[in-house]
Chains A and B, each alone.
Chain A
């Protein structure tokens, strides 16, 4: 069988190997919940504030609290400076992240409130939305927001003909040979193993796609372990 052009990863990882991970819970003392999550050179932080009263009032829901997610990259996170503030890309990622997190949290105990999740990327090397979601899930758990289950997130994909886990920047956006690069961010729920976020950009066959999802589920199992360890070792006391 034709193995294609991409037979070796630049950083020496196996095709299904996640970059070294590091998670910390309790990094912003004034917040209700906070966490950081790193994979390789990609770093994400997430902060939770709330439940708090939602303004304007007409957006309030008397049946349940609502979740609001804002994702952004810091100006110095990439080599070409990013203008501060929201843009189309960050707004879309905020929305899909909000859907993914909403699928596991339950805010019916907190009608008329909002829970704000702020995700920020200080240093980017691809996979920022999934690193952000791993941090956000930790921050929500840290804040004591009722959750039906945890989520873990990973980018999987295909480089030329080879299926890979956790694409870095070179694989994600600089590799153009052969069939090029396909990038698939996936969020997997911890207990029911359902998919809470799915995006795809590239070209991939149905059998290959199915296989990448299995690879994502397996990787998410490893990520979940890192998340659970971090939750057991909260680094700093929060302010009262």
Chain B
């Protein structure tokens, strides 16, 4: 049976090992786990993908439905992200109403995608003021071994990047299967999120579950591309710890380095 309580001994082991830039799974403090991206989770959706960072596994799917636009943006499609931290994925998740962690996860990812302008909402308008496409991103956790935020964030991007546009049958006002085309995206504003934790005195990337449990704070940074240079598009600090200016310097430098390393790969996953 899994253990939900983190013994102090384990905390000390994680922290003292990190002083020598080593983690219990053999990585350095800034290494990511292997990333695996797969298609074909469900044929019935516009897209449905699986993303794994090591043992953390998340599914994400995209649906498009016909909807009425909001009055204040009559010529734009609408967007909704939902996330289930399902009890399947962890001893710590409960069934039923989404808890604060589900809500935060969904909101951080929703904001990141919405505000970046990644989805071209104007092109999702069918008839101004009357009919638009509504885009749903549904995130479902399968196994939580830490850093769900980044794994789910990437899964959402990949699902959007690979989603097929449905065919609208105007005569009968219904959807007739899928076209070959993707959904309208502004590919050049793609940004992805990286979450860094402070454990002991060390800043750590892509945390595992135990590391996550003992960290002082986390900082999520979404970074996009501005003519080859990294540009921050969203941030969110989590947990009760505070960030000093030294930590901030380290994190920003790390975010820049990791962005340069990962961005080409992420682009490939999303726009395969």
Contacts and interface: CB of A to CB of B under 8 A. Distances in A.
B259 interface: no
A41 interface: yes
Question: Chain B CB within 10 Å — which of A31, A51, A74, A116 has the most?
Answer: A74
A27 B63 CA distance: 26
A76 B138 contact: yes
Given A28-B89, A84-B82, A122 B55 contact: no
Question: Chain B CB within 10 Å — which of A27, A30, A70, A76 has the most?
Answer: A76
A70 B42 contact: no
A81 B136 contact: yes
Contacts of A75: 61, 63, 82, 136, 138, 140
Interface string A8-51: 00000000000000000001111110000000010101010111
A237 to B, nearest CB: 10
Nearest to A76: B61
Interface stretch (B43-51, B123-131, B180-188, B192-200): B43-51
B51 to A, nearest CB: 14
B1 A29 contact: no
A97 interface: no
A70 B44 CA distance: 23
Contact of A76 (B57, B62, B88): B62
Contact of B48 (A31, A120, A122): A122
Contacts of B144: 30
A114 to B, nearest CB: 12
Given A75-B82, A84-B84, 8 more contacts: A76-B48, A76-B60, A76-B138, A81-B65, A81-B138, A85-B98, A123-B48, A239-B55
26 contacts: A27-B142, A28-B57, A30-B2, A30-B143, A30-B209, A32-B2, A45-B88, A52-B91, A70-B87, A74-B59, A75-B61, A75-B82, A75-B140, A76-B48, A77-B42, A79-B44, A79-B45, A81-B45, A81-B63, A84-B82, A84-B84, A84-B138, A118-B86, A118-B88, A123-B41, A123-B44
Interface of B: 1-2, 41-45, 48, 55, 57, 59-63, 65, 82, 84, 86-91, 95-98, 136, 138, 140, 142-145, 209
Interface of A: 27-32, 41, 43, 45, 47, 49-52, 70, 74-81, 84-86, 116, 118, 120, 122-124, 239
